[in-house]
Amino acid sequence: MNTNMLDAINAAKPKLRRRITTVPVGGAKAITFQAVVGHRRALLGAILTAIVVLVAVVSIFWTPYDPTAFKTGAPFSPPDLAHPMGTDVYGRDILSRIMAGAQVSLTVAASAVAAAAIAGTVIGLVAGFVGGVLDLLATRIVDIMLAIPGLVFALGIVALLGPSARSVTVALAIVYTWQFARIVRSVVISVRSRSYVEAARGLDVGPLTIMGKDIFPSVLPILIVQVTTALAWGILDEASLGFLGLGVQPPNPSWGSLLIEGRQYLYDAPWLALGAGSVVVVAVLGVNFLGDGLREIVDPRSGRKN
């Protein structure tokens, strides 16, 4: 769903002759702890994200009820003290299921983004640094992959692999890789002719060392921003695929699978869909706040305009 957003910004920029670029003029600023704490939106985002991660971690050791146990209360009981988020058709506790679901959803999103970030960085670094035919080929492949709307692409891959948490992870990793490749490549292109890179080349430093020691540090801040943005997509897309019945399958809780259960009982128990949906919104909002803040820290020029 949001997969094409950043793509849109990037693609629109040269066309709109914008001065806000993905590659900040004069290089990206470093992301430091002080910078995050000092930036209101980044801090709020970091706190929200930390809470969601904490809930997921806690759920490994403790949930109010067993998330898959039946009849922890009356079926379809609306939210009350014993069940703060109500129960579902089998009397399972929704809060426990959402907590356990956080674990699955965050793992899927984080693994997919990590894999995509690594693969995309390698492609982007090599393509941008080596240049020539290799770069042309990589750019064309990226163009082809980005021509398929993200969710549609992911849906096709999940259909291929069969619905499961692992398929969703693989599908999202494949879909997100190209975005990373494109962004990393653009940063590499912008720094590869800088004097310090030229100097390293002149000193006969090996290409791998130049990529790792001279170029990658310039890529890193922008990569971190992109990872944050992609995490927000990851959570949304996992939930979306789950909602379509193509994600993690019930009865295993994930935010996606909880939403599809909620959709079946929209009339009898609206709190099912509302609860799981609200949690997704809070998690994504937190990550988006963080990503937005980090983008402004990395490129203060964008902050003045956004």
Distance of alpha carbon 194 from alpha carbon 197, whole angstroms? 6
Q: How far is the CB of 238 from other proteins (least distance, A)?
A: 10
Give bridge partners of residue 93 from the DSSP assignment.
87
Residue number with CB closer to other proteins (91 or 149): 149
Helices 216-243, 150-161: crossing angle, 10 deg rounding: 70
Sequential DSSP letters for 191-218:
HTTSHHHHHHHHTT--HHHIIIIIIHHH
Residue from 60, 288, 290, 296 in contact with other proteins (CB under 8 A) = 288
203-235 burial, b if ≥16 CB within 10 A, otherwise e? eeeeeeebbeebbbebbbbbbbbbbbbbbbbbb
Residue from 33, 204, 206, 305 in contact with other proteins (CB under 8 A) = 305
51 binds other proteins (CB under 8 A): no
Contact letters for other proteins, residues 116-155 (x by CB under 8 A): ------------------------x--xx--xxxxxxx-x
Residue number with CB closer to other proteins (173 or 200): 173
Place of tokens 């470093």: 30
Q: How far is the CB of 296 from other proteins (least distance, A)?
A: 12
Residue number with CB closer to other proteins (208 or 266): 266
Name the burial class of residue 115, with classes exposed (0-12), middle (13-18) and buried (19+) by CB atoms within 10 angstroms of its CB. Answer: middle
Instruction: Please report, as ranges, the residues that interact with other proteins according to CB under 8 A.
Output: 1-5, 7-9, 11-12, 15-20, 140, 143-144, 147-153, 155-156, 158-162, 232, 236, 239-240, 243-246, 259, 262-263, 266-267, 270, 273-274, 277, 280-281, 284-285, 288-289, 292, 305-306
